[in-house]
Structure 1
Amino acid sequence: MDKNTLHPLIIERLQAALELAQRAALSAYEAATDEQNIAENKYDTLGLEASYLATGQARRAQEIRQSLSAWQQLTLRPFDPLQGIQLGALVWLADAREREQCLLLGPDGAGLKLQWLGQEVMLVSPRAPLGQRLLGCGPGDEVELRIAGGVQHFEVLRVV
Protein backbone atom coordinates (compact mmCIF):
# COMPACT_ATOMS: atom_id res chain seq x y z
CA MET A 1 0.00 0.00 0.00
CA ASP A 2 1.24 3.45 -0.88
CA LYS A 3 0.56 5.86 1.98
CA ASN A 4 1.41 8.78 -0.31
CA THR A 5 -2.03 8.38 -1.90
CA LEU A 6 -3.59 8.74 1.56
CA HIS A 7 -1.85 12.03 2.34
CA PRO A 8 -3.85 14.18 -0.15
CA LEU A 9 -7.10 12.60 1.09
CA ILE A 10 -6.30 13.74 4.63
CA ILE A 11 -5.53 17.26 3.46
CA GLU A 12 -8.75 17.33 1.42
CA ARG A 13 -10.77 16.13 4.42
CA LEU A 14 -9.19 18.73 6.72
CA GLN A 15 -9.83 21.50 4.17
CA ALA A 16 -13.50 20.50 4.03
CA ALA A 17 -13.69 20.44 7.84
CA LEU A 18 -12.07 23.89 7.97
CA GLU A 19 -14.58 25.34 5.50
CA LEU A 20 -17.44 23.90 7.53
CA ALA A 21 -16.04 25.25 10.80
CA GLN A 22 -15.49 28.70 9.29
CA ARG A 23 -19.09 28.80 8.01
CA ALA A 24 -20.36 27.72 11.44
CA ALA A 25 -18.25 30.40 13.15
CA LEU A 26 -19.52 33.08 10.79
CA SER A 27 -23.12 31.97 11.28
CA ALA A 28 -22.73 32.02 15.07
CA TYR A 29 -21.05 35.44 14.90
CA GLU A 30 -23.91 36.82 12.82
CA ALA A 31 -26.41 35.45 15.33
CA ALA A 32 -24.45 36.98 18.21
CA THR A 33 -24.38 40.43 16.60
CA ASP A 34 -27.90 40.43 15.16
CA GLU A 35 -30.02 43.31 16.44
CA GLN A 36 -32.88 40.92 17.20
CA ASN A 37 -30.67 39.13 19.73
CA ILE A 38 -29.95 42.19 21.88
CA ALA A 39 -30.94 41.32 25.44
CA GLU A 40 -34.17 42.95 26.57
CA ASN A 41 -33.70 41.88 30.19
CA LYS A 42 -31.23 39.92 32.33
CA TYR A 43 -32.93 36.63 31.47
CA ASP A 44 -32.63 37.10 27.72
CA THR A 45 -29.35 35.30 26.99
CA LEU A 46 -29.71 34.33 23.33
CA GLY A 47 -27.10 36.86 22.17
CA LEU A 48 -24.68 35.82 24.92
CA GLU A 49 -25.11 32.13 24.08
CA ALA A 50 -24.53 32.84 20.39
CA SER A 51 -21.38 34.76 21.36
CA TYR A 52 -20.03 31.76 23.29
CA LEU A 53 -20.85 29.51 20.36
CA ALA A 54 -19.09 31.86 17.92
CA THR A 55 -15.99 31.86 20.12
CA GLY A 56 -15.96 28.07 20.30
CA GLN A 57 -16.48 27.71 16.56
CA ALA A 58 -13.65 30.17 15.85
CA ARG A 59 -11.36 28.17 18.17
CA ARG A 60 -12.29 24.95 16.41
CA ALA A 61 -11.57 26.51 13.01
CA GLN A 62 -8.15 27.61 14.28
CA GLU A 63 -7.36 24.09 15.53
CA ILE A 64 -8.29 22.62 12.15
CA ARG A 65 -6.23 25.30 10.39
CA GLN A 66 -3.17 24.32 12.47
CA SER A 67 -3.75 20.63 11.81
CA LEU A 68 -4.10 21.27 8.09
CA SER A 69 -0.86 23.26 8.05
CA ALA A 70 0.99 20.47 9.89
CA TRP A 71 -0.25 17.87 7.40
CA GLN A 72 0.65 20.07 4.43
CA GLN A 73 4.22 20.36 5.75
CA LEU A 74 4.58 16.65 6.55
CA THR A 75 6.82 14.63 4.25
CA LEU A 76 5.97 10.94 4.33
CA ARG A 77 9.03 8.72 4.34
CA PRO A 78 9.36 4.96 3.95
CA PHE A 79 9.55 2.96 7.17
CA ASP A 80 13.11 2.67 8.48
CA PRO A 81 13.50 -0.40 10.74
CA LEU A 82 16.51 1.23 12.45
CA GLN A 83 14.41 4.19 13.62
CA GLY A 84 11.18 2.31 14.13
CA ILE A 85 7.76 3.90 13.85
CA GLN A 86 8.00 7.65 13.34
CA LEU A 87 5.67 10.44 12.29
CA GLY A 88 4.05 9.50 8.98
CA ALA A 89 4.14 5.74 9.56
CA LEU A 90 1.18 3.65 8.44
CA VAL A 91 0.78 0.93 11.07
CA TRP A 92 -1.33 -2.22 11.29
CA LEU A 93 -2.06 -3.47 14.80
CA ALA A 94 -3.83 -6.50 16.21
CA ASP A 95 -5.39 -6.52 19.65
CA ALA A 96 -5.58 -9.48 22.05
CA ARG A 97 -8.65 -10.78 20.18
CA GLU A 98 -6.73 -10.56 16.89
CA ARG A 99 -8.89 -7.69 15.61
CA GLU A 100 -6.83 -5.62 13.20
CA GLN A 101 -6.79 -1.87 12.82
CA CYS A 102 -4.85 0.49 10.63
CA LEU A 103 -3.41 3.73 12.00
CA LEU A 104 -1.50 6.60 10.45
CA LEU A 105 0.75 8.38 12.92
CA GLY A 106 0.34 12.02 12.01
CA PRO A 107 1.16 15.44 13.42
CA ASP A 108 -2.45 16.23 14.30
CA GLY A 109 -6.04 15.50 13.38
CA ALA A 110 -6.20 12.59 15.79
CA GLY A 111 -9.39 10.62 15.67
CA LEU A 112 -10.11 11.42 12.04
CA LYS A 113 -11.11 8.24 10.22
CA LEU A 114 -10.87 7.63 6.49
CA GLN A 115 -11.86 4.81 4.21
CA TRP A 116 -8.95 3.91 1.98
CA LEU A 117 -8.78 0.92 -0.34
CA GLY A 118 -11.56 -0.77 1.62
CA GLN A 119 -9.73 -0.27 4.91
CA GLU A 120 -10.57 2.13 7.71
CA VAL A 121 -7.55 4.24 8.62
CA MET A 122 -7.55 6.26 11.83
CA LEU A 123 -5.19 9.16 12.41
CA VAL A 124 -3.27 9.03 15.67
CA SER A 125 -1.08 11.78 17.07
CA PRO A 126 2.16 11.15 18.95
CA ARG A 127 0.54 13.09 21.81
CA ALA A 128 -2.07 10.32 22.19
CA PRO A 129 -1.14 7.48 24.56
CA LEU A 130 -1.16 4.90 21.75
CA GLY A 131 0.84 7.18 19.46
CA GLN A 132 3.44 7.66 22.21
CA ARG A 133 3.77 3.93 22.76
CA LEU A 134 4.18 3.21 19.05
CA LEU A 135 7.12 5.57 18.51
CA GLY A 136 10.27 3.57 17.85
CA CYS A 137 8.47 0.21 17.59
CA GLY A 138 8.54 -2.13 14.64
CA PRO A 139 6.78 -5.22 13.28
CA GLY A 140 6.46 -7.93 15.93
CA ASP A 141 6.70 -5.52 18.85
CA GLU A 142 3.99 -5.51 21.49
CA VAL A 143 2.50 -2.34 22.92
CA GLU A 144 0.68 -2.09 26.23
CA LEU A 145 -1.84 0.66 26.82
CA ARG A 146 -3.46 1.42 30.17
CA ILE A 147 -6.90 2.99 29.80
CA ALA A 148 -9.43 3.64 32.57
CA GLY A 149 -7.92 1.05 34.91
CA GLY A 150 -7.73 -1.59 32.19
CA VAL A 151 -4.85 -2.80 30.07
CA GLN A 152 -4.95 -3.32 26.32
CA HIS A 153 -2.26 -5.18 24.40
CA PHE A 154 -1.49 -4.64 20.73
CA GLU A 155 0.96 -6.31 18.38
CA VAL A 156 2.48 -4.32 15.56
CA LEU A 157 1.80 -6.44 12.48
CA ARG A 158 3.39 -4.32 9.77
CA VAL A 159 4.53 -0.79 9.08
CA VAL A 160 4.83 1.17 5.86
Structure 2
Amino acid sequence: MDKLWLQQQVLERLAEDLLQAEQAARAAHETAIHEENIAENKYDTLGLEAAYLATGQARRADAIRQALARWRQFCPRPYDASQGIQLGALVCLVDADDRQQQIFLGPVGGSMKLVSGAERVQVISSTAPLGRAMLGKCEGDEVSIPVDPTQQRFEVLRVD
Protein backbone atom coordinates (compact mmCIF):
# COMPACT_ATOMS: atom_id res chain seq x y z
CA MET A 1 0.00 0.00 0.00
CA ASP A 2 1.36 3.42 -0.91
CA LYS A 3 1.91 5.67 2.13
CA LEU A 4 2.04 8.81 -0.01
CA TRP A 5 -1.38 7.94 -1.41
CA LEU A 6 -2.65 7.48 2.16
CA GLN A 7 -1.18 10.85 3.10
CA GLN A 8 -2.98 12.45 0.15
CA GLN A 9 -6.26 10.88 1.30
CA VAL A 10 -5.74 12.32 4.79
CA LEU A 11 -5.04 15.76 3.32
CA GLU A 12 -8.20 15.60 1.19
CA ARG A 13 -10.32 14.52 4.16
CA LEU A 14 -8.88 17.28 6.34
CA ALA A 15 -9.56 19.85 3.61
CA GLU A 16 -13.20 18.71 3.48
CA ASP A 17 -13.46 18.88 7.28
CA LEU A 18 -11.97 22.38 7.26
CA LEU A 19 -14.48 23.57 4.67
CA GLN A 20 -17.37 22.21 6.75
CA ALA A 21 -16.03 23.74 9.98
CA GLU A 22 -15.56 27.14 8.33
CA GLN A 23 -19.09 27.04 6.88
CA ALA A 24 -20.51 26.07 10.29
CA ALA A 25 -18.58 28.89 11.99
CA ARG A 26 -19.87 31.43 9.46
CA ALA A 27 -23.45 30.23 9.83
CA ALA A 28 -23.28 30.35 13.63
CA HIS A 29 -21.69 33.81 13.50
CA GLU A 30 -24.45 35.09 11.21
CA THR A 31 -27.05 33.68 13.59
CA ALA A 32 -25.32 35.30 16.57
CA ILE A 33 -25.33 38.79 15.02
CA HIS A 34 -28.71 38.66 13.28
CA GLU A 35 -31.01 41.43 14.47
CA GLU A 36 -33.82 39.00 15.29
CA ASN A 37 -31.54 37.27 17.82
CA ILE A 38 -30.76 40.34 19.92
CA ALA A 39 -31.67 39.47 23.51
CA GLU A 40 -34.83 41.17 24.76
CA ASN A 41 -34.45 39.86 28.31
CA LYS A 42 -32.05 37.76 30.40
CA TYR A 43 -33.78 34.53 29.33
CA ASP A 44 -33.40 35.23 25.61
CA THR A 45 -30.09 33.47 24.94
CA LEU A 46 -30.27 32.37 21.29
CA GLY A 47 -27.74 34.97 20.15
CA LEU A 48 -25.38 34.13 23.00
CA GLU A 49 -25.63 30.40 22.31
CA ALA A 50 -24.92 30.98 18.62
CA ALA A 51 -21.87 33.07 19.55
CA TYR A 52 -20.54 30.23 21.72
CA LEU A 53 -21.15 27.82 18.86
CA ALA A 54 -19.36 30.13 16.39
CA THR A 55 -16.36 30.31 18.74
CA GLY A 56 -16.25 26.52 19.06
CA GLN A 57 -16.47 26.02 15.30
CA ALA A 58 -13.72 28.59 14.73
CA ARG A 59 -11.47 26.73 17.20
CA ARG A 60 -12.25 23.47 15.43
CA ALA A 61 -11.30 25.06 12.09
CA ASP A 62 -8.02 26.28 13.59
CA ALA A 63 -7.22 22.79 14.89
CA ILE A 64 -7.90 21.34 11.43
CA ARG A 65 -5.66 23.99 9.84
CA GLN A 66 -2.86 22.98 12.21
CA ALA A 67 -3.39 19.30 11.39
CA LEU A 68 -3.30 20.10 7.67
CA ALA A 69 -0.01 21.96 8.10
CA ARG A 70 1.54 19.03 9.98
CA TRP A 71 0.37 16.50 7.38
CA ARG A 72 1.68 18.70 4.54
CA GLN A 73 5.13 18.83 6.17
CA PHE A 74 5.08 15.12 6.99
CA CYS A 75 7.27 12.86 4.89
CA PRO A 76 6.67 9.14 5.62
CA ARG A 77 9.94 7.24 5.47
CA PRO A 78 10.50 3.57 4.69
CA TYR A 79 10.44 1.20 7.65
CA ASP A 80 13.82 0.67 9.31
CA ALA A 81 13.84 -2.55 11.38
CA SER A 82 16.78 -1.30 13.45
CA GLN A 83 14.59 1.55 14.80
CA GLY A 84 11.32 -0.34 14.93
CA ILE A 85 7.96 1.27 14.30
CA GLN A 86 8.24 5.04 13.95
CA LEU A 87 6.05 7.88 12.75
CA GLY A 88 5.00 7.13 9.17
CA ALA A 89 4.83 3.35 9.59
CA LEU A 90 2.04 1.34 8.06
CA VAL A 91 1.45 -1.50 10.50
CA CYS A 92 -0.64 -4.65 10.23
CA LEU A 93 -1.75 -5.89 13.64
CA VAL A 94 -3.49 -9.17 14.43
CA ASP A 95 -5.48 -9.83 17.61
CA ALA A 96 -6.13 -13.04 19.54
CA ASP A 97 -9.17 -13.79 17.34
CA ASP A 98 -6.96 -13.58 14.22
CA ARG A 99 -8.56 -10.32 13.08
CA GLN A 100 -6.16 -8.07 11.22
CA GLN A 101 -6.16 -4.29 11.13
CA GLN A 102 -4.04 -1.80 9.22
CA ILE A 103 -2.73 1.21 11.14
CA PHE A 104 -1.05 4.25 9.59
CA LEU A 105 0.92 6.14 12.23
CA GLY A 106 0.75 9.84 11.37
CA PRO A 107 1.68 13.16 12.98
CA VAL A 108 -1.90 13.72 14.10
CA GLY A 109 -4.59 11.09 13.80
CA GLY A 110 -8.08 12.02 14.73
CA SER A 111 -9.02 8.36 14.37
CA MET A 112 -9.56 8.77 10.65
CA LYS A 113 -10.49 5.67 8.67
CA LEU A 114 -9.49 5.33 5.03
CA VAL A 115 -10.34 2.71 2.43
CA SER A 116 -7.79 1.45 -0.07
CA GLY A 117 -9.36 -1.10 -2.36
CA ALA A 118 -10.73 -3.81 -0.08
CA GLU A 119 -8.56 -2.75 2.87
CA ARG A 120 -9.49 -0.35 5.64
CA VAL A 121 -6.73 1.71 7.21
CA GLN A 122 -7.01 3.40 10.60
CA VAL A 123 -4.98 6.63 10.91
CA ILE A 124 -3.74 7.33 14.43
CA SER A 125 -1.07 9.52 15.97
CA SER A 126 1.94 8.46 17.99
CA THR A 127 0.32 10.10 21.02
CA ALA A 128 -2.73 7.80 20.93
CA PRO A 129 -2.46 4.88 23.37
CA LEU A 130 -2.05 2.32 20.58
CA GLY A 131 0.38 4.58 18.73
CA ARG A 132 2.56 4.99 21.83
CA ALA A 133 2.49 1.26 22.47
CA MET A 134 3.65 0.48 18.91
CA LEU A 135 6.63 2.86 18.85
CA GLY A 136 9.91 0.95 18.63
CA LYS A 137 8.23 -2.45 18.12
CA CYS A 138 9.18 -4.78 15.28
CA GLU A 139 7.48 -7.54 13.32
CA GLY A 140 6.57 -10.39 15.67
CA ASP A 141 6.48 -8.18 18.79
CA GLU A 142 3.45 -7.94 21.04
CA VAL A 143 1.64 -4.67 21.59
CA SER A 144 -0.81 -4.23 24.44
CA ILE A 145 -3.02 -1.38 25.59
CA PRO A 146 -5.23 -1.16 28.67
CA VAL A 147 -8.92 -1.60 27.95
CA ASP A 148 -10.94 -1.70 31.13
CA PRO A 149 -10.73 -4.11 32.90
CA THR A 150 -8.10 -6.03 30.89
CA GLN A 151 -5.27 -5.55 28.39
CA GLN A 152 -5.97 -5.74 24.68
CA ARG A 153 -3.11 -7.53 22.95
CA PHE A 154 -1.96 -7.52 19.34
CA GLU A 155 0.91 -9.01 17.42
CA VAL A 156 2.76 -6.90 14.88
CA LEU A 157 2.32 -8.95 11.73
CA ARG A 158 3.86 -6.61 9.13
CA VAL A 159 5.40 -3.17 8.99
CA ASP A 160 5.97 -1.07 5.86
Q: Taking structure 1 as the reference length, what is the TM-score of the superposition?
A: 0.96
CA positional deviation for 1:109: 2.9
Q: Which residue of 1 aligns with 2:103?
A: 103
Q: CA–CA distance in 1 between the matches of 2:143 and 2:68?
A: 29
- Structure 1, unmatched stretches of 5+, are none
CA RMSD between the two structures: 0.9
Report the AA paired with residue 36 of structure 2.
Answer: Q
Q: How many residues of Structure 1 are paired with residues of Structure 2 in the alignment?
A: 160
CA positional deviation for 1:98: 1.1
- Check conservation: 1:93, 1:100, Cα contact below 8 A: yes
Equivalent runs, 1:34-49 vs 2, <5 Å: 34-49=34-49
Report the AA paired with residue 110 of structure 1.
Answer: G
Q: How many percent of aligned residue pairs carry the same amino acid?
A: 54
1:5 is the counterpart of 2:5: yes
Q: CA–CA distance in 1 between the matches of 2:67 and 2:78?
A: 22
CA positional deviation for 1:106: 0.5
- Check conservation: 1:142, 1:153, Cα contact below 8 A: yes
Report the AA paired with residue 133 of structure 1.
Answer: A
Q: Which residue of 2 aligns with 1:20?
A: 20
Q: Secondary structure at the match of 2:70?
A: helix
Q: Which residue of 1 aligns with 2:80?
A: 80
1:157 is the counterpart of 2:157: yes
- Check conservation: 1:76, 1:89, Cα contact below 8 A: yes
CA positional deviation for 1:4: 1.7
Report the AA paired with residue 104 of structure 1.
Answer: F
Q: Taking structure 2 as the reference length, what is the TM-score of the superposition?
A: 0.96
- Check conservation: 1:64, 1:109, Cα contact below 8 A: no
Q: CA–CA distance in 2 between the matches of 1:104 and 1:6?
A: 8
